[in-house]
Amino acid sequence: MEIWNDLWPELRNRYIFQDIDREFADAEDMLNRMFKTVREIEMSSNVDTTNNVSYHYGYQITVDPDGKPHIREFGNVRPSAKGLIEHSGVREPLVDTTVDEKENTLRITAEMPGVDKDHIKVNITDKILSIHAEKEEKKYHAVVPVTTELDNATAKASYSNGILELKIKLRRQVPPKLKRKEVKVE
């Protein structure tokens, strides 16, 4: 029994590091598949490489308070069932949502470089917030599901250095269903 007590910490650490090594190996495999797919696209006859089209893909992983992970993709390409990437001229920006309990607000930030505030349209309904911007070759579109009751009349948006920031007060009472409202970007 004494030998077991002496060996247990070393064995426990070995298993922990094996788990970490396995996670890194899985991440490396995923990245290798993504790079292989991009190389296949570049070599494909379907893609016009003389047009200097840029491909953007990323994902954000968050964990809710219950421990459930959420994966949100962004960019202008998506992996398809065949392993190839489908290109879209419209990019889905990286969007982050945060509820500030102290200020009782929902804060939404979206990365949308290369457009002016006059080109951004933000609309809120009772269940969805949509963001759209378009200026020359830069096109962004995102749909954010809204899971909390919002006071749409308090919505404020600002845009600076390629970052759109929205602040909307949370509604304390059950609101009547509101029609779509466009939010002016300052």
Asked whether residue 177 is assigned to any structural domain, the reply reads yes
pTM over 0.85: no
d(CA 56, CA 113): 13
Query: What total of structural domains would you count in the chain?
Result: 1
Asked whether residue 10 is assigned to any structural domain, the reply reads no
Asked whether residue 99 is assigned to any structural domain, the reply reads yes
Residue 27 has pLDDT above 90, yes or no: no
Neighbours of 135 (CB within 10 A): 14
Residue 114 has pLDDT above 60, yes or no: yes
Residue 124 has pLDDT above 80, yes or no: yes
- Position 124: which residue type? I
Asked whether residue 6 is assigned to any structural domain, the reply reads no
pLDDT bracket for residue 166 (50, 70, 90): very high
Measure the CA angle with vertex 122, ends 88 and 63; round to 5°.
75
Q: Are 148 and 99 contacting, i.e. CB atoms less than 8 angstroms apart? A: yes
Domain, as residue range, for 121 = 48-183
CATH number of 139's domain:
2.60.40.790
pLDDT bracket for residue 45 (50, 70, 90): very low
Asked whether residue 109 is assigned to any structural domain, the reply reads yes
126: three-class secondary structure by DSSP: coil
